[in-house]
Structure 1
Amino acid sequence: MASMWASSSPFLFCSSSLSRRNIVTYNKRSSSPRSKLADVTSMETTIRRSANYSPSLWSYDYVQSLSNKYTGETYIARSRTLKEVVRVMIRNEIGEISPLSILNLVDDLQRLGVSYYFVNEISNVLENVYNNYYKNHEDWIKMDLNLKSLGFRLLRQHGYHIPQEIFKDVIDENGNVKGHFYEDVVGMLNLYEASYHSVEDESILDDARIFTEKYLKEIIEKMSDKNMLSLISHALAFPLHWIPPRVESMWFIELYETRLIGMNPEVLEFAKLDYNMVQAVHQEDLKYVSSWWKETRWEKFGFARDRIVENFMWSVAENYLPHFQGRGDLTKVNAMITTIDDVYDVYGTLQELEQFTNVMNSWDANAIKELPHYMQICFLAFSNAINEMSYNVLANESVFILPYFQKAWQDLSHSYIIEARWFSSGYTPTFEEFVNNAYMSIGIMPIIKHAYVLSLTSVSEDALKRIGRAENMMRSASLIVRLTNDMGTSSDELERGDVPKSIQCYMHESGATEVEAREYIKKLIMETWKKMNKERQAIVSEFPREFLDCVTNLARMGHFMYTDGDKHGKPDMFKPYALSLFVNPIKVEP
């Protein structure tokens, strides 16, 4: 899979290794399908692969029919009232003797998806907690395991450097959690979650993660508390640091409602109302991109995936906040990557792909006359969209940003053609060769480059140059999506006759079994997360929080979309999430 959305690889052309069920034959002088047998020996034909993608589950008319009642003044007024109730609640908690209650409230608000209303209040709270309880080493000894773990996670998440040594008295010399902490199940769960905020060379946190994971898997079989059972099962499947916030909110609201201790009815009502009101915003965004998708006519490309709803999910994961105006453009970027990836992976011949890459490099619409018709349509629709985005920035910000966007897409097409050449020659790259190209061909970099511009309050030449400071973080996020994608889709792609992915390249180079290769990739994903955590800490003061969250959320989407399969490529797998996120509001009972 050449890109994050790809499901087959560097392309297609005549090859005896291709499955007959995936071959469609076309006459060069005609765009209409012909008999396979009649064309097998004909020099006038091009044999093209077909990935046999499932059709979209979401028709244009259905998407346009989506509606949500939570846009009326009654709901807006009630939401305002509840928001102020919660704001007062945060201020009152600051006066508590123990910081645990306020940290629990902050954690709940984040997981419920409403903390964005209280950015300043939460910032003040955490600054106060840090100065009074976590800044001095001597204060750590007084803390119980739960307070240490929860505070560590939240403070690191918000840019505070809390050293791993806070847990030095928790882990013994053999890397095990000391026995007297075993009864604190909540503390052990929070220690497990905290360990995912580690950076490179933090052995205490590595030991904590390994031990607590084993502990939680064992204790879950004895757990009678259904709420705690759900929390532990969820954490083992998706550590909190690895799950997109909007997906977490969808799940956590339901769990919070069943909590016997610590559930606040007004907080719950506010979270439900806000979820539905934000869903209404997302529905309008989805209608807009659905109309754009229909107008491009790319949905009629039979070889490409029609995945506008799934591509919209990537944009929602990147930034779900209702005030964000860039989801439409980001969805366009996502959808264009999906289609262009299928041009390279599924449909174009090597000669056509070389020509298409040259046109991408020149960005010259006049050069498309040498391309086949489907590529002409593809390039014009794509370049028109990018030119329009560039025009909007130029008109509003007086900055000519087109070369910046062009470079992002040219780098992507360069990575695609490398994989296409590998496939054409039957070459199996080394693991290093694959990774050095595949972090780009997964398609995350162009998304981030566009998201960066859309997250800026003011676009400037200096701001565009500054993006280089985030290069390492962006590369780490891209690699995580690449590797999680390979873990979830490589078997299907190989069955279709795809180029080897990271798992197969590692097996080929090292002689490892598939089980061993997958274990190696899992460890590499963990190490890459550590690098990204460290890189984010290093640049946290230089970039908008929403941009840094966007990069992190893209890595999280790799886990969400590709754990246990391919939710992007297989519509039935994503359908339940789409219904909950974009169609069905949560029932609200004041």
Structure 2
Amino acid sequence: MAAMSCFSLARLPISSTSSSTRNFSCLTKPHSIQRSCKIVNTTEKLEEPPRRSANYHPTIWDHSTIQSIESLSSLKGNTLERRRELLKNEVKLLLDASDDPVAQLQLIDTIQRLGIAYHFDNEIKSILDRIHDCHVHLEALDCVHKTALAFRLLRQHGYDVSSDVFQKYRDSQGFKDSLTDDVKGLLSLYEASFLSFPGEQLMEEANKFSVRHLESLTQKVGLDIEEQVRHSLQVPLHRRMRRLEAREYIDVYQREEGKSSVLLEFAKVDFNFVQIIHQMELKELSKWWISLNLDSVLSFIRDRLVENYLWAIGFVYEPHMSKCRIGITKAVCILSVIDDVYDIYGSFEEVEILTKTIKSWDPHEMRNLPENIKLCYKIIYNFIEEITTSILLDNGCNVMPFLKKEWENLCGSYLVEAKWFHEGYTPSLKEYLKNAWISIGGPMTFVFAYCLLGHTLGDNSLNCLKQGFDPIYWSSLILRLNDDLGTSKAEMERGDTPKSIQCHMRETGESEEVSREYIKNLVDHFWKELNQESIRTHLPKNFMNLVTNMALASHCIFQFGDGIGDSTGITKNRILSLFVNNVPLE
């Protein structure tokens, strides 16, 4: 099978203008990255260069700690599984029990937030199909909460619903003042506004209106609704990592007066059951990580196996997606190692040789490199071979040329950044993003994930990635900019390539504060693009969910800074809640 080249393309996503001008109209079609990095003569013996260090803290999750995580006993696990199946059938009855579209939508929303929707994909699709086909129901809904709930769920599931359904809540001055007395409706309108498309001024107005009034209401409502409002103003529903939201919402739902005891128990039992699977995967991954023996050879790298597994859970947490989740974790671990070689440890000459070696896949190219950098090449090659063999056995398709090409593209983008650092060059924001959406690792990870999701592979199925290029592009840009917002301060302090914030500051002369706000506005715009492409795409639904989930996970990981490089605070607490502490059962 010939290697595809769709991910060797980069697009010109933005012209960096004054931050006061929120004009993102100069988005263009892909253009090839032009790399002018001269490759050094690999026959010359390299002198030992001075080495930099990022001073990352040691892992707080060593092998013995991971292996000591206590799962529920096999007896309790078997009991849990039987109870889980009984409760699942009861929840199916709840979904079939009502013909009221609003009640069905509210039930679907609760099921999604509790993290158990993957059990009922067919039932949920059937309900949403009926509601969408009878579009008149949306026009007839008599309050903003119901309209916003229907709009949000339908768009989230790929239905093309017009934002005009909100026109009836406006007058000549904008959204009606009477809406401000309805906190539940305001919150629903706010959440719906994050499913907007580019150019939807009505949804932009809905967002500003709801934010303004929700911020002024936080002191005038009950404690529970105040907590929900504050949480949503920090991170809206459409930008929360699914598995983490499930764990947090179980506690919230437990306090609700009108809760369903069946739903609550099923959510708790299912969470604990899935957690057992995640714990087993993590223990197996720890054995793999230890077998690479990297800490003794590459002491400068981020040793972050568990944190990278958190990333993978953000992509796909469902228990039947184990192979994909494990593959993503390994890919991200190796990606982080190679990234640290290019960013921190390797000299420019060394990473040039490493890039050339990966491009040619000829190990003789790197005979004069230090042994620890040679090891990096071997790790990449062995991982590609492992995945290729697995897919060949499952699908009868040789994806090795395809996977190799993605590593070539990724390392080529790393080399561009190394060249910028070596020359002290600050690119324009457009030039930066043209390379950075690839160097963040999204396209490479998506390709590996697609091959591991279990789709029938061949030229036709792989060509769908070319056709579905836009969602991958926008999701990768969201990840890149959230990463920059969370990590750029620490990276600039230790000496690194300028990030998007610094590129915008240099280009416009704006302050860091103004440039940060500009980058946040870009994230919002890229989300609108991703929302629209989610409706248009022909990508398989489970893969499209994964593409969206990566963008969601980036908001979680970088919400309070660098959640990977410095993982001792909120990241540690989230890991404990997802992988160590089970949900108490009554």
In the superposition, the TM-score normalised over structure 1's length comes to 0.89
CA distance in 2, matches of 1:295, 1:399: 28
Other-structure match for 1:6: none
Show the counterpart of 1:51.
54
2:54 match: secondary structure: coil
Aligned equivalent of 1:299: 295
For the structure 1 residues 80 and 45, does the alpha-carbon distance in structure 2 shift closer, same or farther, using more than 3 Å as the test?
closer
CA contact (8 A) 1:70 1:280 kept: no
Equivalent residue, structure 1, for 2:159: 160
Match for 1:241: what amino acid? H
- d(CA) in 1 for partners of 2:486 and 2:315? 21
Equivalent residue letter for 2:151: F
Structure 1 runs of 4+ with >4 Å offset:
none
Map Cα deviations across residues 441-467 of structure 1 (whole Å, 9 max, x no partner): 111111111111112332222111211
The counterpart of 1:558, out of the listed 554, 558, 576, is 554
After TM superposition, give the deviation of residue 568 of structure 1 in Å.
Answer: 1.0
Q: Find the aligned partners of 2:47 and 2:93 in 1 and give their Cα distance.
A: 75
Match of 2:249 among 235, 248, 252: 252
Q: Match for residue 34 of structure 2?
A: none
Q: Which amino acid is the alignment partner of residue 495 of structure 2?
A: G
User: Aligned partners of 1:351, 1:320: CA distance in 2, in Å?
Assistant: 40
Does 579-588 or 229-238 show the bigger shift? 229-238
Letter in 1 for 2:237: L
Count of residues in correspondence between the two structures: 536
Q: Deviations over 1:472-495 (max 9, x none)?
A: 110111110111111111111111
Partner Cα distance (1:454, 1:373) in 2: 31
Q: Residue type of the partner of 2:197? A: V
Opposite residue 433 of structure 2, the aligned amino acid is V
Please list, as runs of the form range in 1=range in 2, the aligned pairs for 1:209-288 lying within 5 A after superposition. 209-224=207-222, 226-260=223-257, 262-288=258-284
Correspondence list, 1:451-530, <5 A? 451-530=449-528
CA distance in 2, matches of 1:426, 1:80: 60
Contact 1:455/1:544 (CA < 8 Å) preserved in 2? no
- Residues 391 and 452 in structure 2, CA contact (< 8 A), matched pair in contact too: no
Q: Which moved more, 1:344-353 or 1:213-222?
A: 213-222
Task: Report the alpha carbon displacement of residue 173 of structure 1 after superposing the two structures with TM.
Answer: 4.2
User: C-alpha distance in 1, partners of 2:140/2:81?
Assistant: 46
Instruction: Map 1:318-467; keep pairs closer than 5 Å.
Output: 318-324=315-321, 325-467=323-465
Distance 1:367 1:423 in 2: 24
1:545 paired to 2:570: no
SS of corresponding position for 1:370: coil
Q: Which residue of 2 aligns with 1:89?
A: 94
Q: CA offsets per residue over residues 222-255 of structure 1, 9 Å max, x none?
A: 222x221221111111111111100110110110
Instruction: Provide TM-score, normalisation by structure 2.
Output: 0.89
Asked if the contact 2:170–2:176 (Cα under 8 Å) also holds between the matched residues in 1, the reply is yes
Structure 2 letter corresponding to 1:511? G
Paired residue secondary structure (2:175): coil
Alignment partner of 1:579 is 2:579: no
Q: Quick one: which amino acid aligns to residue 268 of structure 1?
A: L
Distance 2:355 2:294 in 1: 19
Tell me if the contact between 1:171 and 1:204 (Cα under 8 Å) persists in the aligned partners: no
Deviation sequence 1:355-412 (CA, Å, 0-9, x none): 0000110112333323210111111122101111111112221211001101111100
Whichever residue aligns with residue 308 of structure 2, its letter is: N
Residues 517-574 of structure 1 show CA distances to partners (whole Å, capped at 9, x for unaligned) of 11111111111001111111101xx322221111101111111111221111112121
Match of 1:17 in 2: none
SS at structure 2 position matched to 1:512? coil
Corresponding residue number in structure 2 for 1:73: 78
Distance in 2 of aligned mates of 1:46 and 1:480: 35
Cross-structure match for 2:20: none
- Structure 1 residues 142 and 336: CA distance shift in structure 2, 3 A: closer
Q: Match for residue 25 of structure 2?
A: none
Alpha-carbon distance in structure 2 between the residues aligned to 1:198 and 1:323: 31
Deviation (angstroms), 1:77: 1.2
Q: CA deviation at 1:130?
A: 2.3
What is aligned with 2:314? 317
Distance 2:452 2:213 in 1: 43
Q: CA deviation at 1:182?
A: 1.6
C-alpha displacement at 1:141, in angstroms?
4.8
1:153 CA displacement: 0.3
In structure 2, the residue matched to 1:7 is: none
Matches within 5 A, 1:100-115: 100-115=102-117
Distance, in Å, in 1 between the alignment partners of 2:248 and 2:241 is 11
Distance 1:173 1:357 in 2: 60
Deviations 1:245-289 (A, max 9, x none): 0011011011000112x2111110110000000000001111111
How do 1:102-251 and structure 2 match up within 5 A? 102-132=104-134, 135-136=135-136, 140-174=139-173, 176-224=174-222, 226-251=223-248
CA distance in 2, matches of 1:352, 1:73: 53
CA distance in 1, matches of 2:71, 2:47: 54
Cα distance in 2 between the residues matched to 1:88 and 1:365: 60
Does structure 1 conserve the Cα–Cα contact (< 8 Å) formed by 2:141 and 2:147? no
Equivalent residues of 1:536, 1:548 under 8 A apart: yes
Deviations 1:304-334 (A, max 9, x none): 0000001111111110000012111111100
Contact 2:240 2:552 in 1 (8 A): yes
Q: Among the aligned pairs, what percent are the same residue? A: 37
Between the aligned partners of 1:231 and 1:198, the Cα distance in structure 2 is: 21
Counterpart residue identity of residue 143, structure 2? D
CA deviation after TM superposition for structure 1 residue 511, in Å: 1.1
One-letter amino acid matched to 2:355: T
Provide the rounded CA distance (Å) in 2 between the counterparts of 1:410 and 1:66. Answer: 38
Provide the secondary structure at the position in 2 that maps to 1:298. Answer: coil
Cα distance in structure 2, aligned partners of 1:365 and 1:280? 41
